């Protein structure tokens, strides 16, 4: 199925329940979905080279418009051929609008119907972010997929505040679409609505009716109970356009991904696998592993016997623990590589199970094993 922007297509290859396995084609890459996008906030996936990231199977990453706009500047990056030329990433790229980061500044920003005025967290300088400016900056960054500016209300916000954010997000989405299209850059709309199903359904219908190349769900994982998020995703996923990519923004854990893709979501991003890696937490087929725990001090076994990444093939848990206890930078690097490899393998296996019609059985068995062996939360004795 050809998408509105020339050079982009989306083809569903298999369906199992609400889940689907598909292929998203951009001018730079072919992305098999469901897919996880590693986060390269400042034109780098922390501690890893682009070759490292590609070795995990990733063919699309996310970069952050807010941070790159402020440093080193969109014009500077454009002179290098965009983010992909700047960081030497040869595959696809999605950029967010920068809105989420601006809203997180709280006391340092003001919002009105036209846009957001904020002070840089770097030097306190005043900036203005509008729907048009967000698209202009993303055009300079040269991403394959640009996200429109939206208003993400805080978790637990009153209904009237959520409704106001929906109206504003719709207006901003329409303004983004009124701008001239950028060659080779698709545009995704964003659905808000908090945790109330009627608001989510209403806003989904509004955004889906616009001429976007894909539709994203924003405003999740902002403090709501995970069971509530899963319930909403189970209702919303099947309502999303069947002929376009569906993207769940900023989520999440392996459990989150498996529950969401079972509801029909295609794309995910989250800092969790690399952030947790930098804090000594490995994500495995047997659950989370806290390498700082004393139990791993003399453990000569591989991090995950079911993983075929170079880290698991080469290093023992004992050595990896030593790197973190000694505060050696190699520790976060190796664990980041493993965690992203695990996420890639999780998505590949999910696609396989969808194709053979065994997703539900496999998901339940996988989650049971992960939760049974999970060791996070146990105190370290050393």
The average confidence (pLDDT) of the chain is 96
Active-site position among 96, 144, 213, 256: 96
pLDDT bucket at 377, cuts 50 / 70 / 90: low
Q: What whole-number percentage of the chain has pLDDT above 70?
A: 98
Active-site position among 52, 213, 256, 269: 269
Give the pLDDT confidence of 36-88 residue by residue, as tens digits: 999 999 999 999 999 999 999 999 999 999 999 999 999 999 999 999 999 99
Give the pLDDT confidence of 357-368 residue by residue, as tens digits: 999 999 999 999
Given this model, what pLDDT does residue 99 score?
84
Given this model, what pLDDT does residue 382 score?
37
Of 120 and 99, the structure prediction assigns the larger pLDDT to 120
Q: Tokens for 52?
A: 């490292």
Task: Give the relative orientation of helices 131-141 and 159-178 as an angle to the nearest 10 degrees.
Answer: 60
- In the chain, where the domains are located: 35-270, 280-373
Distance CA 194, CA 76 (A): 37
Helices (H), 263-329: 272-278, 310-314, 317-325
Distance CA 124, CA 118 (A): 9
Given this model, what pLDDT does residue 340 score?
99
Give the pLDDT confidence of 205-215 residue by residue, as tens digits: 999 999 999 99
CATH number 3.20.20.105 is the correct assignment for the domain at 35-270: yes
- Coil, strand or helix: which one is 105? coil
- Coil, strand or helix: which one is 262? helix
Element (H, E) at 239: none
- What mean pLDDT do residues 185-199 have? 98
The C-alpha angle with vertex 252 and arms to 120 and 299, in degrees rounded to 5, equals 110
- 269 is a catalytic site residue: yes
Which residues touch 36 (CB under 8 Å, ≥6 apart)? 58, 257, 268, 269, 270, 343, 344, 346, 347
Token pair 């906030």: residue? 41
Q: Tokens for 374?
A: 């999970």
At residue 247, φ and ψ (nearest 5 deg) are -125, 125
Nearest-CA neighbor of 93 among 10, 31, 34, 149?
A: 31
- What mean pLDDT do residues 333-344 have? 99
Give the pLDDT confidence of 196-207 residue by residue, as tens digits: 999 999 999 999
Give the burial class of 232: count Cβ atoms within 10 A of its Cβ; 0-12 exposed, 13-18 middle, 19 or more buried.
buried
- 198 is a catalytic site residue: no
């Amino acid at each position: 199925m050809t998408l509105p922007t020339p050079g982009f297509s989306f083809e569903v290859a298999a369906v199992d329940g609400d889940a689907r396995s598909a292929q998203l084609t951009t001018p730079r890459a072919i992305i098999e979905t469901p897919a996880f996008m590693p986060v390269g906030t400042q034109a780098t996936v922390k501690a890893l080279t682009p070759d490292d990231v590609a070795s995990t199977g990733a063919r699309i990453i996310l970069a952050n418009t807010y941070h790159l706009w402020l440093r080193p500047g969109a014009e500077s990056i454009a002179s290098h051929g965009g983010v992909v030329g700047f960081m030497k990433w040869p595959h696809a790229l999605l950029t967010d609008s920068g809105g989420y980061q601006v809203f997180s500044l709280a006391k340092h920003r003001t919002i009105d119907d036209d846009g957001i005025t904020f002070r840089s967290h770097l030097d306190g300088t005043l900036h203005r972010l509008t729907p048009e400016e967000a698209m202009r900056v993303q055009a300079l960054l040269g991403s394959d997929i640009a996200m429109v500016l939206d208003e993400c209300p805080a978790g637990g916000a009153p209904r009237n505040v959520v409704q106001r954010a929906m109206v504003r997000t719709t207006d901003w989405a329409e303004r983004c679409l009124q701008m001239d299209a950028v060659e080779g850059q698709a545009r995704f709309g964003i659905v808000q609505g908090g945790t109330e199903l009627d608001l989510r359904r209403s806003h989904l219908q509004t955004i889906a009716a616009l001429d976007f190349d894909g539709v994203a769900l924003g405003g999740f994982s902002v403090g709501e109970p995970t069971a509530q998020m899963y319930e909403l995703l189970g209702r919303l996923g099947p309502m999303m356009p069947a002929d376009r990519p569906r993207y769940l923004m900023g989520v999440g854990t392996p459990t989150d991904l498996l529950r969401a893709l079972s509801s029909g979501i295609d794309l995910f991003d989250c800092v969790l696998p690399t952030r947790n890696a930098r804090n000594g937490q490995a994500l495995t087929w047997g659950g989370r592993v806290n390498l700082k725990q004393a139990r791993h001090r003399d453990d000569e076994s591989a991090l995950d016997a079911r993983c075929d990444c170079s880290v698991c093939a080469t290093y023992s848990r004992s050595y990896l623990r030593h790197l973190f206890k000694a505060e050696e930078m190699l520790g976060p690097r190796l664990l980041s590589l493993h965690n992203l490899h695990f996420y890639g393998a999780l998505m590949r296996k999910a696609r396989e199970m969808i194709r053979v019609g065994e997703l539900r059985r496999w998901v339940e068995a996988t989650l049971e094993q992960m939760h049974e062996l999970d060791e996070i939360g146990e105190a370290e004795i050393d």
